[in-house]
Amino acid sequence: MKIFLNGYMGSGKSHIGKILSESMGYPFVDMDDQIEIMEGRSIHEIFQKKGELYFRKLENEVLKDILASKSEMIVSLGGGTPCYGNNFDLIKEDPENRTVYLKASVEQLTSRLFLEKVHRPVISHLDTKDQLEEFIRKHLFERAFYYNQSSIIVDVDGATPTAIVENIKSKLD
């Protein structure tokens, strides 16, 4: 079984993925890390030098490589991964795969992301919390269709990482 964690940036996919991986004994794969290794540069640099379309093509290639693997694993998807091309359909093709939406509120995401926006190429240009909140609301509205197709939905607001992991594990059967 492969477990794919999805949700908006800042929802905790990488952090929760690592804890879930340790808890279940499955290897952990972070898609953004895999893309950076493949390209030899940071996501931020890829966006700056090659653009989002190039990044999305890389993302699709990495996803296909992960799906071709016969290994069990926990995979942290990029926030936009399920929303581009046929990525989410590819994941759902295998009935053994599980998708988990780490659902965070706009307020929670704004609070988390404002502190780290300089490291996030998609939002680095937004100067105020109000601009960031409006951006997140728009994106979540556009992406909710995909995120809500997940086989498991976990509300992460106010929950500890341990509680989130236990919640996911209880819904995997």
Q: DSSP character for 78?
A: -
Interatomic CA distance for residues 129 and 111, integer angstroms: 8
Interatomic CA distance for residues 90 and 87, integer angstroms: 5
Residue whose pair of structure tokens reads 């030899």 in the numeric block: 40
Could you list the residues known to form a binding site for substrate, using ranges.
32, 56, 79, 143
Could you list the residues known to form a binding site for ATP, using ranges.
10-15, 120
Amino acid residing at 65: D
Could you list the residues known to form a binding site, using ranges.
10-15, 32, 56, 79, 120, 143
Interatomic CA distance for residues 126 and 124, integer angstroms: 6
Interatomic CA distance for residues 166 and 130, integer angstroms: 34
Could you list the residues known to form a binding site for Mg(2+), using ranges.
14
